Structure 1
């Protein structure tokens, strides 16, 4: 890239009402092509191995050798185990012949166990089984070798290569170019120095990468200052980030290693909860919210009655909050303020106790009703958010969803917290609740939670939430 146009922070302000969220990962076509070609080759050679084993093995009257459905079962188990072992991934994984032998052997043993449990008297002969195992190993490895040779031939002619962008300092430029070219599957589109990721140039760089359809970016370790934030930006742009090694590199605790030839390189996962982690967390939320809604239904009735007796207005309070991928949703609470509380807030902004003004917090808020003070002290006003959790708009644990008024004051780096489902409680809430008077400190806690997420951590935060609620620490 010849030059960069500087952008100030104020010139780049995302429009939350039309947020795009995470973009589709670039290079999916080549990924599907690779997986499809390898899996079809494996199916073809495994079918051929089975037919030869049945033909040359000792004949035995069995549904395994006569019905097509059993052949489909064999192929499903074989392909499933190979996929589970990660042997359809790119690079050295698809050339892992020892891994293929282990995967085929394991799948054949699973089939042997299935056959014995299904119909122990009508399985195939031992010679057929051994022939199938031997031919499967030979044929599958041969198929991978053919695919590998064909891929190398096509890449030598400029086909099926990945377009990449290199960001590195001048002193590391030549060594990094040689390292990338050694893999023989990349075409370097452009090269830029570390200033391309500086705050003033960052948005111009990402816009360029998007418009040029760059699939992967190779970045030297020293070129990234705010590593987790930059990794998140690459992921939300749909670009795979590869971090190139330098002398004295410090390993990030959640880094993932991959190889270029014999050189280990690193990728830092973006600080989001996605994929299998998301579905584990979502299943946990769904089960817990269902059980809690059933158990707490009498409490809901009592609280609703007390609110009606205390002041005029609806039982529930709904407010637009900004959730996952900056999309708006309505949060549910028991009403703890007078009916026109939101209109009165503008007159109270001068008394805001949050130093940077992003959030609005105020002790002895005059808008709070008598029963509202009690509900807030024990966080009972938050109970209706279990409906938001049940509907998938929120999680039990996560960064708190904020009103549009607060999110509109975000800096770009704050939007990382919008890449996960918001929660009823979180690490911020059990580490001081309302006593934390600086939004930056709260964001650091939210980010720490996202980076270190596990079901156990969620359970720990939920238990701490109960303790904090009953101690009434920082509640107002």
Structure 2
């Protein structure tokens, strides 16, 4: 910058300044997704208020002092609440171009914040004014339920549409030793197309930025970016250009992300601290596990009976298959499944080891496994064979979401760092299952997904995984 004339420096905008054409540079599909999401939130909020107004008519109407006008059959209070909520949603990043990771918990928090703020505003507006409590609480709870329900449905629908859209252009930045490996991983996925690559050491150079823009990449996948004394030039330039940046995190970067910015002895630091409510979110998770498993068993009991009949018609033997798996802290437990193979499948596996299609041999996978019985392929493709694990969840051996428990044969082939996944309760589904399932050939790639889940766990992440699992199960991607 020192070589530029002073008048030229003044013409250059702040690197953090938004690009004037950011909205126009979004693809049509991205714009449509944002608009549909905004519309769905508005419809959900309107539906919540209609429910609240219906129940409130049995108690007390809205005071005239708060009913200034009506539009489309909804009172003025709704339009104020709706507008404020949508503005807060936008400010909170809930209307990004990507719908793959909607923050459901943040949506509920923002809605609750708007309603609580309304109490404060109404008090200062007129301390003697007493809004109907029945309307307030019904609208509050209904808004949370309706918005989350609509967002779950939108994510499910667009998640399937996303898999059918054209290839995503990706520019890869990594060290020389990792470029080939990352490129091979992306090339195996039909939805990604590599349009360029650069070494990590050149990530912040003008030449690399020009290469990215000329390649018309939609996303940049980067690993081992060089350390910089100030903010990353690459990040801010890509942000202004509307190009998404994806970082492959190291353990150190994960700790950085959890830190709270603080000035300590005149130095910028990140303080990593534990929450005063530590453990409560996990208690909620276990409560939801038990409730979800119990409801699932009750609602799916007719399906269980139908599957049992199919298995008996297909092959003599037990309806269920019980196998020893490694669970929390390496403890062995009995995991239940519907039987999809011949009764002596475990004995036949030793004869089929030579046909194992797993890349590193840790897992045992054969696409056309001769041991599978009639209807077995359907049960595995639809993941119906996994449903008896709801009983494992109910008795506390498993969770709805977590690293998948593996047989003793697989765990014996683990590398030492693979065992970190046993520090949390195993699950029926997890990041591994929604990120390729049987398509992942190298177990280390699956183990990294499990470690990412452990490091980034939240109730919202669990909900995200469950929604994506439903979509994948419905369309049977990656299962055999």
Bigger relative contact order, structure 1 or 2 (CA pairs below 8 A, ≥6 apart): 1
Task: Give the TM-score range, shorter chain.
Answer: 0.3 to 0.5
Q: Please report the TM-score for the alignment, with normalisation by the length of structure 2.
A: 0.45
Question: Highest Rg: 1 or 2?
Answer: 1
Q: Please report the TM-score for the alignment, with normalisation by the length of structure 1.
A: 0.45
